[in-house]
Amino acid sequence: MLTSMIGRGYFGTHVPAVVQRNVLENPAWYTAYTPYQPEISQGRLEALLNFQTVVTDLTGLGTANSSLLDEATAAAEAMTLMRRASKAPQGAVLVIDADVLPQTRAVIGTRAEPLGITVVDADLLGGDAGAALDAAAGDAGVFGVLVQQPGASGRVADLQPVSDAAHERGALVTAAADLLALTLLVPPGEQGADVAVGTSQRFGVPMGFGGPHAGYMAVRKGLERNLPGRLVGVSVDAAGDPAYRLALQTREQHIRREKATSNICTAQVLLAVMASMYAVYHGPQGLTEIARRTHRSAVALAEALGALDGVEVVHADVFDTVLARVPGRADDVVAAALAAGVNLWRVDADQVSIACDETTTPVHLGAVVAAFGGSADPLAPAADDAVPAALVRESAFLTHPVFHSHRSETAMLRYLRRLSDRDYALDRGMIPLGSCTMKANATTEMQAVTWPEFANLHPYAPADQVEGSVALVHQARAVARRA
């Protein structure tokens, strides 16, 4: 099977076997109903609280929801949140940085049109952020700004100048941030961002031809009541013991009614649980090691490519993605890598993008270098990080004991079993309420979810590599229309 080093928001990841077998393949978890009834949902509510803790700690923001549909729709929710919370006049625009992921830009454009929101693109990180905002907004003013960290091109940048310029103009700032990168980089909340959004896909959830994967949103203090989606809180029961419940759970769906811009059902309980357990299993040290290995693979690749004649590495500061300029040779490079079993991303006729991840090996790196005309010898990760000193994370994260208590497979297995025993799902009996997000799918349907041919398929893989999956999508759509 081909290895995809395409990136663009989707990355290879190793699913811990204990999580795959005891969460993804376990009906106690995959048939669990959206946790509206806390008395039969204490296990999954604790797992979702872990997810929220991962997000708040890594983003440096005070409050996170317990997942949204995916990164692109989370960014669209951030757009409407900023419009509601901003004091900018009607007619003010949303400004999106040019280095935002294309699928995110597309979803925002679709959501903005019926809401009458004008979206303007600008290069906010390439120079004077204030001047770029003024040029983009004109006389209309700006209510919100969206930036990506790292950018779609792989660039790692200081977000503080953008945040300062936006706040001076009465706008809010959303940073679409990679959670794994935030183990090494200064979090958005420490760079002035009001909102952070993103995906938890690379936290142990296979690419699955694009998912969708559990998205996240976190907000600074003062924006909590504008936060869409579900929010797990800790309360106290009649016996004085801690108890989990959903807080503010009905405000969008029922209170706002026809004005609602989101639906609290639109979330990813199962995949959010998987991502949270990936963090619980690895802990802060393990996550940092994975991030560092990924980053150093990209650093070694950039150094090797930069030493080749006719190859220019575009961005010096990167986390996991290297953008290489090879005038007029992009097609040849991509074809050579494909012949060696690696998918790269052709940006245009002159540029190729290569993304490293948890699954990247020295052999993969050597194959990429050979595609550019260098040696095919395996290339080891660099010995040191290359994150700019001003962007190196100093703050601690995942300090709660749960992220330090389940290092062994046996300990993790027992933790998962302990949580599932606090739940009531279809493996035990009929759920008293109708299910909107989890179903009792047939086992034959669930089996294929973990097959490598499905699980490791990148959504931007070449069309001739995904013909079977596309055919299945069309078949499923035809069956749904007949139903």
**Count of the separate structural domains present in the chain:** 2
Q: Do residues 106 and 120 share a domain?
A: yes
Q: What token pair was written down for 463?
A: 């069309």
Beta pairing partners, 342: 3
Res 449: pLDDT: 87
Cβ-Cβ contacts under 8 Å for 421 (sequence gap 6 or more): 43
Does the residue 404 lie in any domain? no
Average pLDDT over residues 172-199: 98
Cβ-Cβ contacts under 8 Å for 262 (sequence gap 6 or more): 68, 77, 80, 228, 229, 252
Res 286: pLDDT: 98
Does the residue 92 lie in any domain? yes
Among 88, 158, 198, 160, smallest CA distance to 389 is for 158
Q: Do residues 201 and 350 share a domain?
A: no
CA–CA distance, 458 with 452 (Å, rounded to integer)? 11
Q: Do residues 260 and 295 share a domain?
A: no
How far, in whole angstroms, is CA 183 from its chain's centroid?
A: 14
Final residue in a domain of this structure, among 335, 363, 391: 391
CATH number of the domain at 367, please. Answer: 3.90.1150.10
Q: Do residues 326 and 385 share a domain?
A: yes
Q: What token pair was written down for 113?
A: 């049109």
Contact 180, 132 (CB under 8 A): no
Does the residue 455 lie in any domain? no
% the chain with pLDDT above 90? 80
Among 320, 325, 291, 296, smallest CA distance to 308 is for 325
Q: Do residues 254 and 322 share a domain?
A: no
Q: Higher-confidence residue: 161 or 227?
A: 161
Is 395's pLDDT higher than 80?
A: yes
Contact 143, 171 (CB under 8 A): yes
Res 111: pLDDT: 95
Q: Do residues 225 and 350 share a domain?
A: no
Buried-state track 229-240, b at ≥16 Cβ within 10 A, e below 16:
bbbbeeeeeeee
Res 324: pLDDT: 98
Res 45: pLDDT: 94
Does the residue 481 lie in any domain? no
Q: Do residues 293 and 208 share a domain?
A: no
Contact 266, 69 (CB under 8 A): yes
Q: What are phi and psi of 270, to 5 degrees?
A: -60, -45
Final residue in a domain of this structure, among 391, 415, 446: 391
CA–CA distance, 230 with 233 (Å, rounded to integer)? 10
Res 263: pLDDT: 53
Contact 169, 202 (CB under 8 A): no
CATH number of the domain at 239, please. Answer: 3.40.640.10
Is 257's pLDDT higher than 60?
A: no
Q: Do residues 165 and 254 share a domain?
A: yes
Reported as half-sphere exposure (CB side, CA atoms, 13 A), residue 178 has a value of 30
Does the residue 114 lie in any domain? yes
Does the residue 478 lie in any domain? no
pLDDT tens column, 1-51? 799 999 999 999 999 999 999 999 998 998 887 777 888 899 999 999 999
> 283: alpha, beta or left, given left = phi > 0 and alpha = psi -120 to 50?
left
Domain with 73, as residue range(s), is: 17-279
Is 442's pLDDT higher than 90?
A: no
Res 36: pLDDT: 74
Q: Mean pLDDT of all residues in the chain?
A: 92
Q: Do residues 124 and 257 share a domain?
A: yes
CA–CA distance, 405 with 383 (Å, rounded to integer)? 30
Q: Do residues 307 and 353 share a domain?
A: yes
Q: Do residues 81 and 213 share a domain?
A: yes
Final residue in a domain of this structure, among 391, 414, 436: 391
Burial of residue 424 (number of CB atoms within 10 Å: 0-12, 13-18, 19+) = buried
Q: Higher-confidence residue: 460 or 438?
A: 460
Helix (H, G, I), strand (E, B) or coil at 118: coil
- Give the pTM: 0.94
Q: Do residues 144 and 272 share a domain?
A: yes
Q: Higher-confidence residue: 248 or 321?
A: 321
Does the residue 401 lie in any domain? no
Res 443: pLDDT: 85
pLDDT tens column, 303-361? 999 999 999 999 999 999 999 999 999 999 999 999 999 999 999 999 999 999 999 99
Residue 261's pLDDT band (cuts 50, 70, 90): low
Average pLDDT over residues 52-74: 96
Among 9, 455, 50, smallest CA distance to 279 is for 50
Cβ-Cβ contacts under 8 Å for 55 (sequence gap 6 or more): 64, 179, 196, 200, 216, 217, 218
Q: Which long-range contacts (CB under 8 A, 24 or more apart) does 259-265 make?
A: 261/77, 261/80, 261/115, 261/228, 262/68, 262/77, 262/80, 262/228, 262/229, 264/228, 264/229, 264/230, 265/34, 265/436, 265/437
Buried-state track 303-315, b at ≥16 Cβ within 10 A, e below 16:
ebbeebeebebbb
Does the residue 412 lie in any domain? no
Res 249: pLDDT: 54
User: Which has the minimum average pLDDT: 75-84, 157-166, 252-261?
Assistant: 252-261
